[in-house]
Amino acid sequence: MNNRGGLFKLLSSNVLAQLLTVAVLPILGRTYAPQDFGQLGSVLALVSLTSVVIHGRYHMAIPVVNRESTASVLLQLALCCSVLLCLPVTGLLWFVFGDTPDGMPLWHLLLLAASLSLATAMLDIFAYWRSRFQRFNVSARNSVTRSVSTSAAQVALSPVGSSGLLLGTIAGTLLAVVIALHDVASHATRPWLWPSFKRMQAVARRFKTYPLFGVPQGWVAAVSWNALPLLLLRFDGTAVAGQYWVAYRLLVAPLSLFNGAYRQATLPKIRHASLQNVCALVLKDSIRLLLLGGAPLLVLFLLGDRLFELWMGTNWKMAGTIAGWLAIGILGDLVKIPALCLLQGQGNLRRILIWEVGIVLARYALAIPLLSHGLIIEAIATFSGVGLAGWCIFVALELKFLKQRPTEK
């Protein structure tokens, strides 16, 4: 089922990109204050909530459709939705969740978040387009380029103050978008042949389950982690939000990279495999991920505060403590990836949405009262524990359900 060669290329490049990011953290941690990372985290939290929904998730069908003409319309449809929705959705989400970090005007926050949301959505769309043609080497190269350019720009722009972190992020993201656009323009002509409105409307109706169920599922999944820094900003201030953001981004980066690599390498193959074989492989992959993720989790849980203090400086001890508890929740999100990929490939988005909503509601129902009383670590520990338990149950029950329906594709 899996294109193991493509998965290896993506993973190896993503690991390199993450290592480069980790390598520069000692410099950034001693150059910028937790409050500066709090500003960055506030913007990127909004970006994470916005960029996963503004494309309508139409691009996720690109690798699995048979006709290239349909794939092209899906690409154009996703890009069009992203351009039209990036600013209004950013403003709406800030109104629902937001607070403004210290030292940043509201208009500045919204403009940066909307621009980065559009760029991030475009990168995701183009990555799925490349996966259709097994162009994993391009995705691998882009991942490393973005990491290097972002880190270099953040270090180089440190003399301008706290805005250097944000400006460096923008520079790295825009460079990655330019490279992705050049790649698509160089290797395909059909994506730029704009379809008729009637054709686009027909494709939108045909794949309506992606916006109807995929958008809520993607947004709820983003809320699961990215509403928390906004709540920390509201209850405990910019510096605490910055401590959380550094710990979270350090842990979630390899998770996100593996997630994208696994999906891009797996989704094109799902339609050609039997359900029984797919379920067996998903179970094996989930168990492997649980075992592999357990070792670093234990290290972070026992030594996180010391490691962060040694690695980034004395101001970051709290981030290490937060990381030790966050690792429990990150492990749950790692274990669920194969099963989520299987259900998405089958278009079974409603069941994913039900699970996402249930776990997110349980997480925040228990964490918010603790946050409101200033119990930050206790809230994060509860939040993470609910996530790990919920997603392990999800994998077990969904695979059992699918095995009882062997004739379904």
Exposure b/e, 24-35, CB count within 10 A at least 16 = b: bbeebbebbebb
pLDDT at 56: 92
pLDDT at 2: 45
pLDDT at 264: 64
For the chain, the average pLDDT equals: 84
Task: Indicate whether 329 pLDDT > 70.
Answer: yes
Give CA–CA dist 70/248, Å, rounded. Answer: 37
**How does pLDDT run across 60-92, given as a tens digit for each residue?**
888 878 888 888 889 999 999 999 999 999 999
pLDDT at 292: 86
If residue 367 lies in a helix (H) or strand (E), which one and from where to where? helix 349-372
Residue 320 domain-assigned (yes or no) = yes
pLDDT at 283: 86
User: Span 355-361, mean pLDDT?
Assistant: 92
User: Which structural domain range is residue 328 located in?
Assistant: 4-403
- Closest by CA position to 101, among listed 244, 220, 247, 308: 244
DSSP 165-202: HHHHHHHHHHHHHHHHHHHHHHH-SGGGSPPPHHHHHH
* Angle at alpha carbon of residue 81, lines to 125 and 60, rounded to 5°: 35
pLDDT at 1: 42
Q: Which two tokens stand for residue 3?
A: 């294109």
Residue 186 domain-assigned (yes or no) = yes
Task: Indicate whether 10 pLDDT > 70.
Answer: no
Give CA–CA dist 317/305, Å, rounded. Answer: 5
User: What confidence tier does 342 reach under pLDDT thresholds 50, 70, 90?
Assistant: confident
Residue 26 domain-assigned (yes or no) = yes
If residue 402 lies in a helix (H) or strand (E), which one and from where to where? helix 376-403
Task: Indicate whether 268 pLDDT > 70.
Answer: no
Asked whether the beta carbons of 29 and 246 are under 8 A apart, the reply is yes
Q: What is the pTM of this model?
A: 0.78
- Closest by CA position to 249, among listed 401, 31, 26, 37: 37
Task: Indicate whether 141 pLDDT > 90.
Answer: no
Cα 390 to Cα 262, 356, 358, 362, distances in angstroms: 21, 9, 9, 9
pLDDT at 22: 76
Residue 44 domain-assigned (yes or no) = yes
Q: Which two tokens stand for residue 265?
A: 């390498």
CB atoms within 10 A of CB 226: 24
User: Span 320-324, mean pLDDT?
Assistant: 92
Residue 158 domain-assigned (yes or no) = yes
Residue 409 domain-assigned (yes or no) = no
Residue 38 domain-assigned (yes or no) = yes
Task: Indicate whether 408 pLDDT > 50.
Answer: no
Task: Indicate whether 406 pLDDT > 60.
Answer: no
Task: Indicate whether 323 pLDDT > 80.
Answer: yes
Residue 276 domain-assigned (yes or no) = yes
Asked whether the beta carbons of 28 and 154 are under 8 A apart, the reply is yes
**How does pLDDT run across 203-261, given as a tens digit for each residue?**
899 998 888 888 887 888 788 888 898 888 888 888 898 999 889 888 877 777 677 66
Cα 237 to Cα 36, 100, 104, 371, distances in angstroms: 12, 10, 13, 12
Q: Which residue shows structure tokens 């928390």?
A: 228
User: What confidence tier does 25 reach under pLDDT thresholds 50, 70, 90?
Assistant: confident
Query: Total structural domains in the chain?
Result: 1
Q: Which two tokens stand for residue 183?
A: 């790649």
**How does pLDDT run across 100-138, given as a tens digit for each residue?**
887 788 888 899 999 999 999 999 999 888 878 777 777
Q: Which two tokens stand for residue 190?
A: 């059909």
